[in-house]
Amino acid sequence: MSFQARERDPRPVRRVVVTGVSAITPLGQDIDSTWSALIKGESGIGPISLFDASDFSVRIAGEVADWDLSGRFEKREAKHLDRCTQFGLAAALDAIADSGFKIDETNAGRVGVLFGSGIGGIQTLCSQVLVLDKRGPSRISPFLIPMMIPNIISGEVAIRTGAKGPNTCVVTACAASAHSIGEAVETIRRGAADVMIAGGAEAAVAELGIGGFSAMKALSTRNDAPEHASRPFDVDRDGFVAAEGAAGLVLEERDMAKSRGARIYGEIVGYGASGDAHHITAPDPEGDGAARAMSEAIRDAGATVEQVDYINAHGTSTPFNDRIETLAIKRAFGEAADKVAVSSTKSMTGHMLGAAGAVEAVICLKVLETGTLPPTINLENPDPDCDLDYVPNEARQAGVELAISNSFGFGGHNACLAIARA
C-alpha cells in the first residue's frame, strides 16, 4: 500500500516571546550584575585560578568568581554534576523562576528543554584522566560519562522541573546556544511545544581546554594585562580569551504568555542558520556563510536591513573572525552597514564558547529594554579592515526596536537570532 502525505492544514503563525531570563558570567551570577558591569565597560578577565596555569603559555580567562552552590544544590548532588552542568541547570532554574511559569501534570508534555554546550564536562574529563593515569581503570568514576556528555544539561533540567516535552541538545561549538534558542523557537512555531527552556552552558577553563586552544594559537597571550586582552576589531588583537558561564531563556507561545499575564522581555522574530563548508576552524574568507545567516534571520523576521538597529557581534578578538565578520555584515547589509551600531560584549565577558550565544541573546533583550548599547572596550587602534560603528569604549543611548545576535562556531556553523522589543 503506497503512502501519500496528506495536505497540511494551514496554521496561523505561532509567535514566540521571552518570559524568563538568567545569566551566569564572569561579570556576575545574575543578569542585573552582568548588565551593570557591561554598560560600565568593566572587564571580567583575570588570572586563571581554577587550576595551576603557571606552565601554560596562556594564564588568563574569564572565570565565574566565587561560584556559590548554597541554595542551589545539595553538596552530595553537586559532586555528581560537572561545573558546566551546574551552570546550565542553575541558569535554567533561574530563568524559570523569573518567568513565573509553573510546570505541572496538566502542561508538562507541552514544555520542552533545549540547552547547548560546545564542549560539555571537560573538567570532569580532565580529573578522570588523571585518575586513570595514577590509579588505574578500576577507579574511574561511574559518573564520568553522565557528568561529561553535553546533553546531560537538558536531561537534568527536565528531571528537576518535570518538563516532558521535546528534550534535546545542540553541540555546534561557539554557535551551540544560539542554535539552541533558534531551534527551540522553531519547536514552538511548529506546534510541538508551547514552552521551551533554552540556553547554553560552558565551563572549559580547564587544563585540556586552555591547553588545546593554546596549541591552536587561538588565545590571547596578553597575560600581564588580562583586562585588556580581549580587544575585538582592534589592530593589536591577538586571540580570544576563554571564559565560562551560562544563560537561560524561557520561550513561550505569545498568546499563552499574554493570557497568563507574563512579563514579556521581547520576541524572537527571526532565526537564520548556515554552514560555511570551508574549513574546520577558519571562517569562509568571503564571509558568505555568516552573511547568509544574518540575511535569513532578517528575512524570517519580515524585516529589512534598514530596520536593524543593533548587532551583537560574534566579535571574538581573533585576527580572522573580526575582519571576516565585518565583511559579512557589509555583504548582508549593503549600504546600511555603515548606519547600524555593532558591539562585541566578549571584550568584557571573554568568549564563553557554547554559552556565548545565549548570554548575548539575553544582552540583546536588555538593549531592547533599556535603549543602552554596551560598548566594545579596548578598541584603541581600530583595524583598517574593521571600519564599522563598534560603539567603542563607552556605552551609548539609542532607540532600538530590532537587534540581531551573531554566533559562529568551529566547523563553519553559523547562527543569527533576530530579537524585537516587547
Catalytic residues: 174, 314, 351
3-class state of residue 201 by DSSP: strand
Entry field: residues in the chain: 422
* Adjacency order of strands within the sheet including 111-116: 167-170, 111-116, 195-202, 245-253, 16-24, 266-275, 413-421, 402-409, 310-312, 341-343
Cα separation, 172 vs 374, whole angstroms: 26
133 near 97, Cβ under 8 Å?
A: no
3-class state of residue 422 by DSSP: coil
Which DSSP helix (H) or strand (E) runs through 418?
A: strand 413-421
Residue with cell 574529563: 125
184 near 114, Cβ under 8 Å?
A: yes
What amino acid is encoded at 16 in this protein? Answer: V
All three cell numbers of 298, joined, read 532578517
All three cell numbers of 419, joined, read 530579537
For residue 330, count CB atoms less than 10 angstroms from its CB and return exposed for 0-12, middle for 13-18, buried for 19 or more: middle
Give which of 369, 378, 166, 365 is closest to 269, Cα–Cα. Answer: 365
